[in-house]
Chains A and B, each alone.
Chain A
């Protein structure tokens, strides 16, 4: 006579303990933070883990650490907490906007920035904003910690660069230039409660003369992973935001797209709207940089 297999739950207090648990159980263990993706996947029986490792008891995953140079955000910091952090909100409004777009207020109270990243959805809202910001992902594992640029973290739909025994402890936002701003926009068919059909994150720094010093643009939901539009940097650098630059920017965004047709949008639509949102996000980021 068979029996139902039991799920176990652990809430370790150190990163080392998490790594030990992960190494012991293997792929049937799942990191549990906000649970807003994980519990849905379990409810739908898409995954059936045997161990949940709750990382919220580890202090470094729950803190936002601001220094003059960087801001380190714990992987288990929730969207609501990011939105309430005035310093972060004024320095990186685009990242906060991106995370705050994930789900309802109820979901915001639970969903974490690390979870959004590790779920590795091509449509994850925070990821284009993090890529535009040149954020780094801090990973703990059996061999200590390592850093990975945000744009290299996801390697395909639902897949990350995490090796066995590794997990994300935090995300680091770099030092910003004096006059810089960021922004994130997404397209969904309703006003709320949808997954991005297209997402666009932009980060712009300006020279004293008002031209672009540097810029980074990233798109979500238009390729197997969120991706940086490298050409956008060249198009913007040294220039002002005139119609010609915007047209070139839109074209670069269109060209960067390798989307699919699915229940959320068509290839044609995603490609076109990527250009639209890229321009709109850059304009907002530019405005914010000017207002600094």
Chain B
């Protein structure tokens, strides 16, 4: 059975990949493309560790198939920093110690980025509900929420 040949844009670069019909975007990223920054926590859309952005929307990469992505624009954690400059969310996660083990961090950063694009000035409650699809077992969420609120304030101030 030949693989499907798909052309997408990942983090601004044109990327071709081959995939079987049942192969998820998560599997394509991690196995076919070696982009392991997108994490595998459950495979059922419950943990959010594989959150990436497809055509402007945050999705669980484990619940998207590679074959349906012809022409899609995909953003992953590997593209979040611009060159050697970390995204404000990445900076604030380091400043606030908003990670312990770090396995949920790429997914949370992507979800937070999507959240702030839609709502640049969220309340604590909005951040919490916005991140409800991203499990973190280490931090109790406190420092994550603070980091996102602080990054939002910075991003508003710096336009």
Contact = CB atoms under 8 A, between A and B. Distances in A.
Interface string A31-52: 0101110011011100000001
B44 interface: yes
Interface string A73-84: 000000010000
A107 B129 contact: no
A104 B130 CA distance: 8
B90 interface: no
B122 interface: no
B63 A105 contact: no
Interface in B117-158: 129-130, 132-134
Contacts of B48: 104, 106
B22 A42 contact: yes
A9 interface: yes
Contact of A8 (B21, B54, B60, B111): B21
A54 B62 CA distance: 17
B21 A106 contact: no
Contact of B115 (A8, A44, A105, A109): A105
Interface in A40-74: 40, 42-44, 52, 54, 56
Given A9-B4, A191-B129, A43 B21 contact: no
Given A52-B21, A193-B132, A43 B44 contact: yes
Contacts of A42: 22
Nearest to A49: B22
Interface string A81-114: 0000000000000000000000111110110000
A43 B129 contact: no
A7 interface: yes
Contacts of B62: 39, 43
A192 interface: yes
Interface residues of B, number: 31
Interface residues of A, number: 28
A35 B65 contact: yes
Contacts of B67: 9, 54
Given A104-B48, A107-B133, A192-B129, A36 B57 contact: no
Nearest to B54: A109
A103 B68 contact: no
A36 B22 contact: no
A208 interface: no
A193 B46 contact: yes
A242 interface: no
B133 A56 contact: no
B114 interface: yes
Contact of B58 (A11, A40, A106): A106
Given A106-B51, A110-B59, A40 B45 contact: yes
Given A39-B62, A104-B45, A9 B21 contact: yes
Contacts of B115: 105
Interface string B45-76: 11010010010011110111101100000000
B133 A104 contact: yes
B105 interface: no
Nearest to A42: B22
B45 A103 contact: yes
With most chain B CB atoms within 10 A of its CB, the pick from A9, A36, A106 is A106
A6 interface: yes
Contacts of B79: none
Interface of A: 6-9, 11, 32, 34-36, 39-40, 42-44, 52, 54, 56, 80, 103-107, 109-110, 191-193
22 contacts: A6-B1, A6-B20, A7-B22, A9-B21, A35-B63, A40-B43, A43-B62, A52-B21, A56-B68, A104-B48, A104-B60, A104-B132, A105-B130, A105-B132, A106-B111, A107-B63, A109-B54, A109-B58, A110-B64, A192-B129, A193-B132, A193-B133
Given A106-B111, A109-B58, A193-B133, 11 more contacts: A9-B4, A39-B24, A42-B22, A43-B43, A52-B65, A54-B68, A104-B45, A105-B58, A106-B58, A106-B133, A107-B45
